[in-house]
Amino acid sequence: MNLSSLVSASAARMPSRPALIVGGRVCTYAQLEEATARTAESLRVAGVVPGRKIALAAPNGPEFVAAMLGILRCGAIAVPCPADMQAPERAAMLEMVRCEYDLSLAKSGDAGTIIRPLTDRAAQPMHLSPTTCLASDPVDERLVAVDASNIRFTSGTTASFKGVVLSHGGIHDRIIAANQALRIGEDDVIFFALPMAHHFAVSVMLHLSVGATIVTGSLFLGDSMIRQVREHRATVLYSTPVTYRVMAEAPHVDPEAFRSVRLAISTAMALPPAVAIRFEESCRVPLLQALGIIEVGMPIMNLPRPDRQHHALGRLIDSFRARVVDEQGNDVPAGEAGELWLEGPGMLAAYYAPWRTQEEILHDGWFRTGDVVRRDSAGSFFLMGRSKDVINVGGTKVFPIEVEEVLHAHEAVAEAVVIRMPNDLLGEVPAAVVELHPGHATTAEALLDYCRGHLSTFKLPRSIRIVAQLPRTHSGKVARAQVAPAGILP
């Protein structure tokens, strides 16, 4: 199967329904289907054959979606990149996966193939250019063999990103599994405030496959986002904790603006309990956390239920299985911390550069996430951190998230990252780097006093630095590797 056929089916059922709304611009399903077909044909005419890799960079909107679907329809493999990615990062990414073509918004003076997916007055043309890899590299038959649809990256830093190969069938299986829990339908209007380059494979495809309408929101502009939610009568919100915090703290937030909303979904990073509680109190909408893993999908969600706990990741959705294991791979009892292993539909097909097959990656069918969690007797999972980030304080483990959650609960703290710092006596100790809310002020000493009232002595950060802004990846996550106790590394 080809993923683009799912959107074609929606267009056949409801051609005049809006598929995408960006500002005042509306793209119906019929227009999106026409744009997809036009893009696919333009790529074929330009010489693109099945199995070729095409890097795609464009902002959220109809051009990006039509380009993605057109790439898939002609049998090529999409390599979506953030539109604001800097040139050195982009060059490294293209070289890493040996992309044969580069597709981006056209600029004045571009030579080569110009593709016009849409024809409305606001439409922007795309520019297709071959890379040096086209002349030297044959089609990678390994990608053809696994029915690859796109290659996604696990990190925004050139030192550590890893290409994850996802197949058409695998993404289809993920969509079905996720929607058994979310129950998105054709009557839903999705307020989508996330970069589509990072959230196309399951999120955008799920919404379009059922005929829902996607409204792309202005990122991090509280009043503007709330106006869009009200204007379009959004039924589902889909964004990051940062967005929900900004909405909840918008001046004079009116819960009536959210009357049409039945569900808000937070993904991309851990949802601080304080943010969830503040949003639900201010906007009167249930906010759930969904654990998204590029290699796996969305296996765990904190769906609304009477016994839901705000600081939990949630529970397994149907079709997935999980284990929590110790360093020897043995299952640990409920309540104890261990590494999360997952098994379910739509697992990654391979890693790219270096190539590793699914059989080489999985451990007897299980994907080892590297996340340290604990599972309670009711089946709820609680994130403790990454196994590589655990801090060993004189033989006692400290999970950064334990300290971060305390700091996040302080009224002045917008974001906190806790990392290890060398210590002559204990080996290593926690250290915190903190970003404050605009207009708030505090001191490291005051934050440490606050922590003393909530944490055991061995968990207390031995250093707290306040910085103007924490570094982030293109997906919006804090770039933990770029944070140091003395501040931000240059």
For residue 150, being part of any structural domain is answered with yes
Q: What is the 3-state secondary structure (H, E, C) of 386-413?
A: EHHHCEEECCEEECHHHHHHHHHCCCCE
CA dist 77 and 149 (Å) reads: 5
Where does a domain end: 169, 199, 214? 169
Per-residue pLDDT at 84: 78
pTM: 0.85
DSSP letter for 471, please: -
pLDDT for 3 beyond 90: yes
Nearest residue to 196 (alpha-carbon basis) of 60, 99, 359: 60
Looking only at the bridges linking them, the beta strands covering 126-130 and 101-105 are antiparallel
For residue 130, being part of any structural domain is answered with yes
pLDDT for 172 beyond 50: yes
Where does a domain end: 117, 150, 169? 169
Which of 25-39, 137-151, 243-257 has the least mean pLDDT?
Answer: 243-257
DSSP letter for 160, please: T
pLDDT for 317 beyond 50: yes
Q: What tokens does 486 get?
A: 């003395």
Give the pLDDT mean for 266-281: 89
For residue 164, being part of any structural domain is answered with yes
Give residue 6's pLDDT band: very low, low, confident or very high (50, 70, 90): very high
Distances in Å between the Cα of 454 and the Cα atoms of 68, 95, 337, 351, 404 are 48, 48, 21, 42, 11
Where does a domain end: 141, 169, 197? 169
CA dist 289 and 377 (Å) reads: 20
For residue 57, give the CATH number of its domain: 3.40.50.980
Give residue 332's pLDDT band: very low, low, confident or very high (50, 70, 90): very high
Per-residue pLDDT at 120: 85
Q: Which residues pair with 215 in a beta bridge?
A: 21, 191
Q: Indicate the number of domains in the chain.
A: 2
Q: What tokens does 323 get?
A: 């284990």
pLDDT for 64 beyond 90: yes
Per-residue pLDDT at 221: 66
Under 8 Å between Cβ of 238 and 190: yes
For residue 35, being part of any structural domain is answered with yes
User: Could you tell me what percent of the chain has a pLDDT over 70?
Assistant: 96
For residue 233, being part of any structural domain is answered with no
For residue 11, being part of any structural domain is answered with yes
Per-residue pLDDT at 389: 86
Residue owning tokens 């998230």: 401
CA dist 228 and 215 (Å) reads: 8
Give residue 485's pLDDT band: very low, low, confident or very high (50, 70, 90): low
Domain range for 68: 4-169
For residue 450, give the CATH number of its domain: 3.30.300.30
Nearest residue to 26 (alpha-carbon basis) of 35, 34, 17, 37: 17
For residue 326, being part of any structural domain is answered with no
Tens-place pLDDT, residues 220-245: 566 788 999 999 999 999 998 888 98
For residue 220, being part of any structural domain is answered with no
